Chains A and B, each alone.
Chain A
Amino acid sequence: MADRSDTQPPEPSRRDPDLWFLPEIARVEAVRRRYDEPRYRVRDGELEEVYEAVEVTVETSEPFPQRALGPVLFVGPVELSESEQIGPARYRFYGYDVERLKDDAPIRLGWFGQPRPKGQTDLRFSLVDTRDDGRGRR
């Protein structure tokens, strides 16, 4: 009787996106800004209005993967976890505790809730200027 059974190895596993991929920082600019219309932060479970922040705009080599955790920007030991994507590979991080952000502090990218990445970085924090945004830009 002819054997009519098929066989072959399993399909190779899909190469799903690496959720932990961190792009390189191509450019960074930090601006202190005041707002007519408030932004919001959460502190101790309470929602607070904020009218001033340091905005650190980062251009990256590639976009961050979309996932549950989000990117954070480390300015020295300070973690900026509030962010928004403003371009294909352009992100703005918001630092509300302005006084904690020290000039010349090293800048690194990381993932929220994860240890600060180690290693050298040439990027340093430097606040460009203070801008009032009469339009209350969001």
Chain B
Amino acid sequence: MERSRDEVRLSEGKRVLSPPYLATPIYACGTIVNVLGFAPDARLDVELDGTIVAANFQAGAPYPVGAVVPLAAPLTVGQRLRARQKAFGITSGWSSPVLVRDHRLDFPAGLPRPEVDPPPVYECGSRTGVSNLLVGCNVWITADGVEVGRVNGAVAHQGVNVNPFYGLGQTVRAWADLCGDASPPSKAWQAERYPPPPPAPVITAPVAGSTAVVLDGIVNGARFDLTRGGVGVGTFRAWGGRFIVSGISPPFAAGESLSATQQLCPGDPTSPPATTVVQPCSALRAPGVGPIQRGDTVVTLTDFVPDARIRVYANGTKIGDGGGPVVLLSRALVAGDVVDVLQSVGSCTSNWVQELTVRCVDPPVGGSPVGLDLFPVGWLDYDAGTTSVLGLTLRVRGSVAYPAEDDGNGQPFNHRLAGLGRVPFAVLIHGNHDDNVPNFRGYDYFQEQLARMGIVAISIDENESSARSGASNIVERAQLGWASVRHFQALDGGGDPIFGGRIDFGRTGLMGHSRGGEAVVTMTKPAAPAPAGVTVVGVLALAPTDWGATNHEPVGYPFVTILPAGDGDVVSNNGALFYDKAHLDPYRCQLYVDNANHNFFNRQWLNDDARGVYPLISRTDHERILSAYGGAFFRNVLLGHDTVGYLEETVRPAGVLTAKVHISFQRTGSLIMDNHEDGNGIGLNSLGQSTSQTAGLTADECSFSQAGAPTFNNTFYGLTTGMVATTPRAGGTFRSRLAAPVDLTRREVRVRVGEVSDGGSPPAGSTGFKLGLETTTGAVFWVDSDGVGGVPRPFDRTAGTRLPRTKTMPSTLRFTASCFAAPRKVRIRAIRLRLDRGDNRALAFDDLEIVRV
């Protein structure tokens, strides 16, 4: 929250100046180093293999690009780079060294595919942004095959001036190379006509003392004129969206007027003018700060003035001093630290600080799991004739997206990727819907994302199955799914010009939605056996049904299910049954998504299945959730990438409403203290050790299901046994012993917990508990559930007309060992759960375990 600087006591402490950091990874043959995180106008030293190769480099503004420091010679593998800054009479320490890598180890099939960013491009466009670049590469733009602009030694998102400007209808593409290794071309864009005049830009009023001004609403490739007090500052070429003019001298003074107009084609009318007035220093607010958790050594800013100096204080003492968006700290943060972040521009220091208390667990935001854009994408519709399924004659058809030489229908398979070996295979199956709609096309966005990573992704047309219902219909859909896979096996083995010898069916992933979600689990069961040569290595069930086609036990593969809390069709969220019974082979994951419905993950399914009774996140946000978590899952199971952190919630995907996503996750190899499946009663845990209930707490094992017994109430929709605890007064405690003392070094305690719903609207305010580690000496160290993200609120379903019950849906909380402020290497003998809110609300617990991290 924002607090007045007068209310906090901030000390400069020792002469702290944060080291800057280098944009990584850094690859051989690059001729620049991109340095970030420094204070405005700092001077930089860059050291290469122990020798300073750039001294006192004038850094300029820290944002948006940072400093691009040219090197005298191209980098070679194994060289070691680091940087430091000098500002305010202080020289910082050196940044962590970065070793120069060989890009071919990371990208054996060639450089990632550049992206024209943002698109589209327009007639008379004068500058184009290109992203998805390796730092240090060379990037160029062609228009109708002719080079019109180039930057050698690019940053990750590079602007390229083009000359001549684009002509109407020209085909524009971006290209990159490094060490003579070329990327595929970007997607092709036709230069369109932008009807003049363009709209007025939007100028964010700078504050007095600033030397930068932010303009938004720039038309892609336009040139804009900026004036200050009526006098021209300059003409700037810009890619579309936001542009930051930096290095304005002298700094702005309050009351100055600024104005800007933009234009595309010379001779066309210019935009109306945008105007603003420089604000006084008192208008400078606190910066926005991203999540911070125990152990963090950086602070990431989400909103800040581009040329601001950013200072970070912990408990009143400065531990960081640099520039946005990331400031390195002089020490790691500890849970409970009060962090204040302050920005200043020139002589103007904000009167406000952003204050946060460091949580034990508040995962950082990482990149998008589907940001891996390596290859153009080819598309085909396939039709393999008919097959017999359960005595029915059904068509085998659908669409396939695959990594290609270029975008488009029937393009050749990407030859460089093919040269590295066979690629994995993803099978997508839609659910039951109006069969006049091409339902199988509804996941084309996800197919494209998978294909550009190097996965062949098919989506099967199962509309012919819509006439039937029942468990046999699920088996029918499953067997029809395998028929499509057999078709691709035939193409692969039969020398097909695109797919011949290309696909590794030993790495097959399945995703199904709705009835398709149950079908993909069925595809791993005897009722729908996989063809020879196919190994299922992961299954994602999106809002699956439960027609009874399976025994609910995904086994032999990692399993993920996504459950929309606002599902107006599969109102019982049957996927919870599959999660609860999924084997840890080696992990399972459940996402319960607030304000999501059944249909909006499929672009062809236009109706809101809940008919508007629940407020919904946008359709785009539904898709982003499937993309991010499905992408992380398939990258892990099909490509072997280390992306499980997104499912385990040690990192959050960018661009996703993660506050709406409540994750349950469990993996093999943990020490399970209690999963309540032992049938040994509440008095013993899964280790066979005693438990106890004190200070008024009452707990018992209950079926977390609709059909089992005993149940606590009828708001549980899973298929497991857990524990429900209540206490009439604060402090009631449940204690669970370990069989032998455990050292929690590099371990976490995890527990699945949910606020028990009574089926109605949840009461106001959240609830919670404390988890305590009891050491072998009897000392207990506590951490509050709020410090690790809090117990999620039940999603209120009472507005619905069908199954209006608000459900009890537990999710996993992670308590890292170092949160507990216990002595190092302490050994624990028991774990305690203390319900200390005094609100008499029941909590459901399950899967108490100790996990090695």
Residues in A lying within 8 Å of B, measured CB to CB = 13-20, 37-42, 44-47, 66-71, 81-85, 94, 112-114, 138
Given contacts A18-B611, A84-B469, 19 further A-B contacts (CB under 8 A): A14-B608, A16-B609, A16-B612, A37-B391, A38-B391, A41-B472, A45-B550, A45-B551, A68-B515, A69-B545, A71-B469, A81-B469, A81-B470, A82-B473, A83-B468, A84-B468, A85-B467, A94-B470, A113-B546
A67 contact set on B, CB distance < 8 A: 432-433, 569, 609
Considering residues B514, B607, B608, which has the most beta carbons from chain A within 10 angstroms of its beta carbon? B607
A interface SS class? loop
A45 contact set on B, CB distance < 8 A: 525-527, 549-551
Query: When the two chains form their complex, are residues B572 and A113 in contact, meaning their CB atoms are under 8 A apart?
Result: yes
**Which residues of chain B from 410 to 469 have any CB-CB distance to chain A below 8 Å in the complex?**
431-435, 466-469
Closest Cβ of chain A to B269, distance in Å, is: 18
Partner of A68, one of B432, B471, B472, B803: B432
Considering residues A15, A68, A70, which has the most beta carbons from chain B within 10 angstroms of its beta carbon? A68
Partner of B471, one of A14, A82, A84, A114: A82
Query: When the two chains form their complex, are residues B469 and A46 in contact, meaning their CB atoms are under 8 A apart?
Result: no
Partner of A66, one of B434, B546, B802: B434
Known contacts A42-B475, A42-B527, A46-B527; is-contact A70 B550 (Cβ 8 Å): no
Query: When the two chains form their complex, are residues B433 and A138 in contact, meaning their CB atoms are under 8 A apart?
Result: no
Tell me, in angstroms, the Cα distance from A37 to B432 when the chains sit together: 26
Interface membership of B40, Cβ < 8 A: no
Known contacts A16-B607, A17-B607; is-contact A68 B392 (Cβ 8 Å): no
Tell me, in angstroms, the Cα distance from A67 to B597 when the chains sit together: 13
Considering residues B468, B525, B546, which has the most beta carbons from chain A within 10 angstroms of its beta carbon? B468
Query: When the two chains form their complex, are residues A47 and B527 in contact, meaning their CB atoms are under 8 A apart?
Result: yes
Interface membership of B543, Cβ < 8 A: yes
Tell me, in angstroms, the Cα distance from A94 to B551 when the chains sit together: 22
Closest Cβ of chain A to B238, distance in Å, is: 25
Interface membership of B776, Cβ < 8 A: no
**Which residues of chain B from 560 to 614 have any CB-CB distance to chain A below 8 Å in the complex?**
568-570, 572, 574, 598, 607-609, 611-612
B431 contact set on A, CB distance < 8 A: 68
B interface SS class? loop
Tell me, in angstroms, the Cα distance from A84 to B464 when the chains sit together: 11
B526 contact set on A, CB distance < 8 A: 45-47
Partner of B598, one of A47, A68, A112, A113: A68
* Chain A residue nearest in CB terms to B526: A46
Q: Mark B695-717, 1 if CB is under 8 A from A, else 0.
A: 00000000000000000000000
B56 contact set on A, CB distance < 8 A: none
Query: When the two chains form their complex, are residues B608 and A68 in contact, meaning their CB atoms are under 8 A apart?
Result: no
* Chain A residue nearest in CB terms to B515: A68
A112 contact set on B, CB distance < 8 A: 469, 547
21 residue pairs of the A-B complex, CB under 8 angstroms, read A14-B608, A15-B611, A18-B611, A38-B391, A40-B391, A41-B470, A41-B471, A42-B472, A42-B527, A45-B550, A46-B526, A47-B472, A47-B475, A68-B543, A82-B472, A83-B468, A84-B468, A112-B469, A113-B572, A113-B574, A138-B391
Closest Cβ of chain A to B329, distance in Å, is: 45
Tell me, in angstroms, the Cα distance from A84 to B432 when the chains sit together: 13
Tell me, in angstroms, the Cα distance from A125 to B59 when the chains sit together: 86
B435 contact set on A, CB distance < 8 A: 66
Query: When the two chains form their complex, are residues A68 and B612 in contact, meaning their CB atoms are under 8 A apart?
Result: no
Partner of B549, one of A15, A16, A42: A42
Known contacts A46-B526, A68-B431, A68-B515; is-contact A82 B469 (Cβ 8 Å): yes
B466 contact set on A, CB distance < 8 A: 66
Interface membership of B230, Cβ < 8 A: no
Interface membership of B655, Cβ < 8 A: no
Considering residues B471, B551, B608, B612, which has the most beta carbons from chain A within 10 angstroms of its beta carbon? B471
A69 contact set on B, CB distance < 8 A: 545, 569-570
Query: When the two chains form their complex, are residues B609 and A19 in contact, meaning their CB atoms are under 8 A apart?
Result: yes
Tell me, in angstroms, the Cα distance from A23 to B568 when the chains sit together: 19
* Chain B residue nearest in CB terms to A70: B469
Partner of A13, one of B472, B514, B568, B612: B612
* Chain A residue nearest in CB terms to B553: A45
Closest Cβ of chain B to A57, distance in Å, is: 14
Tell me, in angstroms, the Cα distance from A44 to B405 when the chains sit together: 47
B607 contact set on A, CB distance < 8 A: 14, 16-17
**Which residues of chain B from 498 to 534 have any CB-CB distance to chain A below 8 Å in the complex?**
514-515, 525-527
Interface membership of B801, Cβ < 8 A: yes
B390 contact set on A, CB distance < 8 A: 39-40
Residues in B lying within 8 Å of A, measured CB to CB = 390-392, 431-435, 466-475, 514-515, 525-527, 543, 545-551, 568-570, 572, 574, 598, 607-609, 611-612, 801-803
B472 contact set on A, CB distance < 8 A: 39-42, 47, 82
* Chain A residue nearest in CB terms to B608: A16
* Chain A residue nearest in CB terms to B546: A113
Query: When the two chains form their complex, are residues B469 and A83 in contact, meaning their CB atoms are under 8 A apart?
Result: yes
B548 contact set on A, CB distance < 8 A: 42, 81
Tell me, in angstroms, the Cα distance from A38 to B470 when the chains sit together: 16
Partner of A70, one of B432, B549, B574: B432
* Chain A residue nearest in CB terms to B466: A66
Tell me, in angstroms, the Cα distance from A14 to B609 when the chains sit together: 11
Tell me, in angstroms, the Cα distance from A72 to B845 when the chains sit together: 36
Tell me, in angstroms, the Cα distance from A42 to B390 when the chains sit together: 12
B514 contact set on A, CB distance < 8 A: 68
Tell me, in angstroms, the Cα distance from A70 to B515 when the chains sit together: 10
A13 contact set on B, CB distance < 8 A: 612
Known contacts A14-B607, A45-B549, A84-B467; is-contact A39 B475 (Cβ 8 Å): no
Closest Cβ of chain B to A133, distance in Å, is: 13
* Chain B residue nearest in CB terms to A64: B469
Tell me, in angstroms, the Cα distance from A36 to B115 when the chains sit together: 60
Query: When the two chains form their complex, are residues A16 and B611 in contact, meaning their CB atoms are under 8 A apart?
Result: yes
* Chain A residue nearest in CB terms to B431: A68
Query: When the two chains form their complex, are residues B802 and A20 in contact, meaning their CB atoms are under 8 A apart?
Result: yes
Tell me, in angstroms, the Cα distance from A85 to B473 when the chains sit together: 12
B547 contact set on A, CB distance < 8 A: 70, 81, 112
Closest Cβ of chain A to B705, distance in Å, is: 13
Closest Cβ of chain B to A58, distance in Å, is: 13
* Chain B residue nearest in CB terms to A18: B611
B608 contact set on A, CB distance < 8 A: 14, 16
B568 contact set on A, CB distance < 8 A: 19
Tell me, in angstroms, the Cα distance from A46 to B550 when the chains sit together: 8
Closest Cβ of chain B to A13, distance in Å, is: 4
Tell me, in angstroms, the Cα distance from A13 to B470 when the chains sit together: 33
Query: When the two chains form their complex, are residues B391 and A39 in contact, meaning their CB atoms are under 8 A apart?
Result: yes
* Chain A residue nearest in CB terms to B552: A45
Query: When the two chains form their complex, are residues B801 and A20 in contact, meaning their CB atoms are under 8 A apart?
Result: yes
Query: When the two chains form their complex, are residues B471 and A81 in contact, meaning their CB atoms are under 8 A apart?
Result: yes
Closest Cβ of chain B to A95, distance in Å, is: 11
Query: When the two chains form their complex, are residues A82 and B470 in contact, meaning their CB atoms are under 8 A apart?
Result: yes
Query: When the two chains form their complex, are residues A70 and B611 in contact, meaning their CB atoms are under 8 A apart?
Result: no
Tell me, in angstroms, the Cα distance from A14 to B619 when the chains sit together: 15
Known contacts A16-B611, A68-B598, A69-B569; is-contact A42 B469 (Cβ 8 Å): no
* Chain B residue nearest in CB terms to A83: B469
* Chain A residue nearest in CB terms to B613: A13
Query: When the two chains form their complex, are residues B527 and A70 in contact, meaning their CB atoms are under 8 A apart?
Result: no
A83 contact set on B, CB distance < 8 A: 468-470
Closest Cβ of chain A to B235, distance in Å, is: 28
Closest Cβ of chain B to A19, distance in Å, is: 6
- A-B complex: 4 closest residue pairs judged by Cβ atoms: A70-B469, A82-B470, A42-B471, A16-B607
* Chain B residue nearest in CB terms to A86: B467
Tell me, in angstroms, the Cα distance from A20 to B801 when the chains sit together: 9
A16 contact set on B, CB distance < 8 A: 607-609, 611-612
* Chain A residue nearest in CB terms to B469: A70
B515 contact set on A, CB distance < 8 A: 68
A82 contact set on B, CB distance < 8 A: 468-473
Closest Cβ of chain B to A43, distance in Å, is: 9
* Chain A residue nearest in CB terms to B476: A40
B545 contact set on A, CB distance < 8 A: 68-69
* Chain B residue nearest in CB terms to A12: B612
Query: When the two chains form their complex, are residues B475 and A66 in contact, meaning their CB atoms are under 8 A apart?
Result: no
